[in-house]
Structure 1
Amino acid sequence: MQGLFKAGFVLLACTLSSIEIAAAQPANQGCVTENSPGMTQTLRCEAGITIIAEDGARYTLQSGSKGRVDAVELGGKALLIEVAPKPGGNKFQVVTPQAIAAVRGTKWAVDAAGDKTSVFVINGRVGVGRRTGGRGVTLGPGEGVDVEPGAPLTVKRWAPARVSALLARLGQ
């Protein structure tokens, strides 16, 4: 997590308001829902944030004091997030049971399954750390990390087959 804080990312406080979303339910908090062909749902939110949810993904949108979505709590399956760059940065994070992935202006995927969270960056940079603290890592384009109990956070260039399989689940 130390790397996340050095990059200017902060953990959101527990006082955030939230709305739980299932893949077939409408969203709010400044987001418009688009049902995509196939097995995904797309949310287009204020501040240039797009969230594509795998069918059956369990997640909760979270917003800060301005009422805009600035985080997602992901409980299962995968999300593809695109955050448009803007002057001063556009802070956004995805929190899973194992990890926190925080960013400013990028496109990345987060997959939460069982006791493992996988994060893959398509473009931009993403800081990833454990929810329990400790040293985090920064991912660049084409890099991913698996966050599992007892295993080190090791940044790897993902094989094309693994990238394709994850992105296919997200309609990409």
Structure 2
Amino acid sequence: MSVTASHRAGPARAGVLAGALSVLAAHLAALPAAAQGRSCTVTPYTDPPRQVLSCPDGFTLSAESGSSYRLIDRNRDGRPEAAELDGRGLLVDAPPRRGGFQIMTPHAIASVRGTVWAVDVTASRTSVFVQTGAVSVRRPGGPAVILGAGDGVDVEAGTAPLEVKRWGVERAAGLLGRFGR
């Protein structure tokens, strides 16, 4: 599965979201019958505007309105192992499972085995926040830092060491609120 979903804010948002969902549904329907029984479903929400991909193994991926991302299903089993995120945000709720989940952005690579975490991408920065569990974050080709529950990191261009910080309640709630959390 390689699906690109791009959403725009404003009056056309509902049409764009519906279009992205139909593309995802078409890709899911094209999977072999054996994979379809194990594949994920997509549900749109309006408050706040987002779409939620739910898989039978308990994995969920929430994409806020305006997000630009591509899901990656390397083994074509109907469940994504990774996402490329170019703009806005994704929230991942990944139960411990074989292979974990990874989000790749222009600035960072974040990987997990089982946790709840969010990634926000702007033109100049990727921010990662962990609600529960632990996440490894690194620049492409750079050393990783490990974030625990309540920790976040801002990854900007350059080579300066990544600095893990305890996020304040306001900043964490602001990001998580974009996903209805």
AA aligned to 1:149 is A
- The alpha carbon displacement at 1:90 in A equals 4.3
Tell me the matched-pair count. Answer: 153
TM-score by structure 1 length?
Answer: 0.83
Aligned counterparts, 1:116-131, within 5 A: 116-131=125-140
The answer to which structure has the higher strand fraction is: 1
> Structure 1 residue 135: deviation in Å?
1.0
Between the aligned partners of 1:129 and 1:31, the Cα distance in structure 2 is 28
Report the Cα offset of residue 139 of structure 1.
Answer: 0.5
2:138 partner SS: strand
1:170 and 2:148 are equivalent in the alignment: no
Which has more helix, going by share of residues? 2
What's the secondary structure of 2:81's corresponding residue? strand
TM-score by length of 2: 0.79
Residues 121 and 142 of structure 1 are in contact (CA less than 8 Å); yes or no, is this contact kept in structure 2? Answer: yes
Deviates further, 21-30 or 147-156: 21-30
Instruction: Name the structure 2 match of 1:21.
Output: 5
2-structure distance, mates of 1:66, 1:149: 33
Aligned-partner SS, 2:175: helix
Residue 170 of structure 1: SS of its match in structure 2? coil
- Which runs of 5 or more structure 1 residues have no equivalent in the other structure? 1-16
Aligned-residue Cα RMSD (Å) equals: 1.5
> Identity across aligned pairs (percent)?
44
Contact 1:47 1:90 in 2 (8 A): no
Q: Rg larger in 1 or in 2?
A: 2
Aligned residue number for residue 58 of structure 1? 68
Amino acid at match of 2:129: F
